[in-house]
Structure 1
Amino acid sequence: MRPTSLLLNAAKKQKSGFDIPVELTPLFVAMGVAVSSACWFTYKKFRWDESLRVGRKNPDRSGLKTILEEPEKFEKKE
């Protein structure tokens, strides 16, 4: 049985704009999970880690005050 040209043309026109092979679907899913988890853990680290000094929330953690209070360690001895 041969398909008529009308049915054959209708079957060809039903394709969508994306021509992605089905074999690449697991790759896209794995990359989506990897990128999503990287974004989540980066956000979590920047938002909740108190040892990072990303902003100016707590300038007392820098240790600059302790260095400036002990100048005799760095002065030249004559």
Structure 2
Amino acid sequence: MRATKFLLNAAQKQKPGIGIPVELTPLFVAMGVAISSATWFTYKKFRYDTSLRVGRTNPDRSGLKQVLEETKE
């Protein structure tokens, strides 16, 4: 079966823009939500958790003083 001129021209035309299939849109939305929530909860954990010692540490909260006092006794 030979393609007619009309069908051949329609197949050769390309749409302007990025050629992302519509079927992948839900996947991109789900991955965007997953990455943004992981970023948010990681930031929240590092920023507001007082038990983590990331970066500069407060020597009063280190507990070293308590350990040294226990070993003296």
* TM value normalised by structure 2: 0.70
Q: Which runs of 5+ in 1 are unaligned?
A: 74-78
Residue 62 of structure 1: aligned partner: 62
Q: Please report the RMSD computed on the Cα atoms of aligned residues, expressed in angstroms.
A: 2.5
Residue 24 of structure 1: aligned partner: 24
User: What residue identity is the alignment partner of 2:39?
Assistant: C
User: What residue identity is the alignment partner of 1:52?
Assistant: L
Separation (CA, whole Å) in 1 of partners of 2:46 and 2:35: 17
Following TM superposition, by how much is the alpha carbon of 1:4 offset from its aligned partner in structure 2, in angstroms? 8.6
User: What residue identity is the alignment partner of 1:3?
Assistant: F
Task: Classify the secondary structure of the residue corresponding to 1:69.
Answer: helix
Which structure is larger by alpha-carbon Rg, 1 or 2?
Answer: 1
Q: Which runs of 5+ in 2 are unaligned?
A: none
Residue 6 of structure 2: aligned partner: 3
Residue 13 of structure 2: aligned partner: 12
* TM value normalised by structure 1: 0.66
Following TM superposition, by how much is the alpha carbon of 1:71 offset from its aligned partner in structure 2, in angstroms? 2.4
Following TM superposition, by how much is the alpha carbon of 1:41 offset from its aligned partner in structure 2, in angstroms? 0.9
